[in-house]
Amino acid sequence: MAQVLEQEYAVEAGIENRKSVRTNLRWPVSVWLPEVRRFYSGTAVNIAKGGVMIKLPMTAPIQAGNLVEINLPRTISLAKKKDQFARIRIAKVLRVQRKSITNACIAIAMQFVKVAS
């Protein structure tokens, strides 16, 4: 299954920009698009320290350069340990892959953004 995901969402340009190891997974997420003031439910396909690949419905009006908020829910045991049920991250959309559309979804590559405190 992991190989299928990697092939399905391979970088179209063929250039690898990752700086850390990615872990393949299928985890529910929600993405807040401030431009349209709406959440979209999706699935994390893989994740690394610096970013995430997410599948969203093809109706999501998202494009490269958008800043979004990603809600990454935690397991019950981790939520109790961290005293939070989700991890909220700000991310910049690097690319939107519409060529690999399956099940009416698009793949979005996002890079986590450090927020100044």
pLDDT of residue 19: 67
pLDDT of residue 5: 40
pLDDT of residue 14: 45
pLDDT of residue 76: 77
pLDDT of residue 109: 95
What are the DSSP calls for the chain, one per residue? -HHHHHHHT--TT------S--EEEEEEEEEEETTTTEEEEEEEEEE-SSEEEEEEETT----TT-EEEEEEEPPHHHHHHHT-SEEEEEEEEEEEEEEEEETTEEEEEEEE-PPP-
* Residue-level pLDDT, tens digit, the chain, 117 residues: 333 344 444 444 445 555 678 889 898 999 999 999 999 999 999 999 999 999 999 999 999 999 999 988 777 786 677 776 777 889 999 999 987 666 789 999 999 998 776
Give me the CATH code for the 2-112 domain, please: 2.40.10.220
Domain boundaries, given as residue ranges, for the chain: 2-112
How far is the C-alpha of 51 from the C-alpha of 89, rounded, in Å?
Answer: 10
Nearest to 98 by CA among 67, 68, 56: 56
